[in-house]
Structure 1
């Protein structure tokens, strides 16, 4: 599994992602404070609104602690040994929401606001390629700060939507926010979340063009995936043109693919356009 860099300016894009995260933190904190019933079903079928809020709190705690070292009790949430990526993340997520009891959940808005600010403050001025240790993704696993910041933004936007759906509250994911998530986090995460069993024996090259950018070459070849931003000319099997927010919601299973296609949010072309649905089938969403 590999990730190849982009010709876009990484420093500028990273700063734009930081600015988007700085704007989303107070929105998310306010949403958590306004949620009328933490026990209500959320947009995640197996979790209540409070569970989703606890998960977001755990995400903010984990990423801020990568720099502040506030949280050290990793043994309470991490598997005892390395395991397949999706199984590991599913297990960690299930345990991490238990870090927040009823009393802590009633103050999740304040918690998210404080830890979001702590993360942004601790990472101020650091280069996009600064390593961030992420043991929840795997033993000895580290991501770049640019990817980590994109992931925190992604978690905030998507789980904000889950909370809003459960509480019947307004929530929007703007196209520029979605572009930043796709450009900053998906090139690193798509290879990691590839379903290796489904990808065994597969040889497909996708040209994924997000309207307004970025553009990703996603090559799945016999159980591995390579993602390249702004790739040199390649021979693609399938070209996918997608509106940024529509693609983000389909990629993370928040909206059915057929509904987005019907609205023109995603279009397929190239030599084998019928292969387009294979992309979402091959890339898992924990």
Structure 2
């Protein structure tokens, strides 16, 4: 049957960096154009200001793990013990917000601009498979620089959309940007976010086809999950075909799956197409928490838990 042609990880990582570079100033302009930070955002329990604070925390966290210029005392931030994936991200986000100390003079746009430039400068020329410590996923856990870069891009794109939905300001997620996010971060994050209890005793092989060329073999096998890019031919239980931006937003629960299907942007096939819904059930997703009454663009010191993982990251 032949082999499936592979992809060049170095080239794709450079494409992801190239995509992130113009997204950062675009995100900064969006943040700076927000006139009512207390307006509702695309995340029902968060205001637009909450999303801005969260983005600043995300950029702080990712810069801290790639640059000595942005040290964070992780022992004082991370939850004690070996908490489940969703709880670790929730606690980490809450602590990350507190790092700003209620400083009203810190504007999310300015912070994102500075840390975005720092991230790109610090990681310039580094190998995409360079290991990067990501302690909020578990003590001693490392992910690759390529995954981190993909997560930076996904956080920027999806939360930019959250702000745009709350303010009416323009924002777009292009198919090439979304495809890079899915290719760079999906293989790692889906495996990390597997709900092992729900996956125990389950055996399903998904053929995930993202329009434009990306193909992922997602295999759940008795409490484990592996994601392989451009895998050799094999038998699958379910084939999922989707437009890249649609799958990104469905993964982050920003677009209902029924709407994606109704619009013809996503479909399931194969021997057991009904299993497509199981994929979302098996991947853990921290849910946004309740918003406390405290107001103020950068003074929110609240539990800002993680969002979806497909991350999902510090989301």
Q: TM-score range by the shorter chain?
A: over 0.9
Indicate yes or no: 2:176 matched with 1:150: no
Alignment of 1:112-261 (within 5 A): 112-261=112-261
Do the aligned residues in 2 keep the contact of 1:54 with 1:100 (CA within 8 Å)?
no
Q: Structure 1 pair 40/76, CA: closer, same or farther in 2 (3 Å)?
A: farther
Distance 1:52 1:77 in 2: 20
Distance 1:60 1:155 in 2: 9
Distance 1:173 1:245 in 2: 7
What residue number does 2:306 align with?
A: none
Indicate yes or no: 2:68 matched with 1:42: no
Distance 1:17 1:190 in 2: 19
Between 1:63-72 and 1:16-25, the stretch displaced more is 63-72
Distance 1:267 1:108 in 2: 38
Distance 1:152 1:105 in 2: 24
Do the aligned residues in 1 keep the contact of 2:128 with 2:146 (CA within 8 Å)?
yes
Indicate yes or no: 2:74 matched with 1:71: no
Q: Structure 1 pair 42/21, CA: closer, same or farther in 2 (3 Å)?
A: same
Q: How many residues align?
A: 281
How far residue 43 of structure 1 moved from its aligned partner, in angstroms, is: 1.6
How far residue 106 of structure 1 moved from its aligned partner, in angstroms, is: 5.3
Between 1:173-182 and 1:76-85, the stretch displaced more is 76-85
How far residue 57 of structure 1 moved from its aligned partner, in angstroms, is: 0.8
Do the aligned residues in 1 keep the contact of 2:61 with 2:96 (CA within 8 Å)?
no
Partner-residue secondary structure (3-state), 2:225: strand
What residue number does 1:279 align with?
A: 279
Distance 1:77 1:55 in 2: 15
How far residue 235 of structure 1 moved from its aligned partner, in angstroms, is: 0.6
How far residue 95 of structure 1 moved from its aligned partner, in angstroms, is: 2.6
What residue number does 1:57 align with?
A: 56
Calculate the TM-score normalised by the size of structure 2: 0.86
Any unmatched runs of 5+ in structure 2? 287-315
Partner-residue secondary structure (3-state), 1:212: coil
How far residue 219 of structure 1 moved from its aligned partner, in angstroms, is: 0.5
Residue by residue, what CA displacement relative to the aligned partner does 1:221-253 show, whole Å, maximum 9, x if unpaired? 111101110000111000111000000000110
Any unmatched runs of 5+ in structure 1? 1-5
How far residue 73 of structure 1 moved from its aligned partner, in angstroms, is: 2.9
Alignment of 1:24-43 (within 5 A): 24-43=23-42
Q: Which has the higher contact order (CA 8 A, sep 6+)?
A: 2
Partner-residue secondary structure (3-state), 1:185: helix
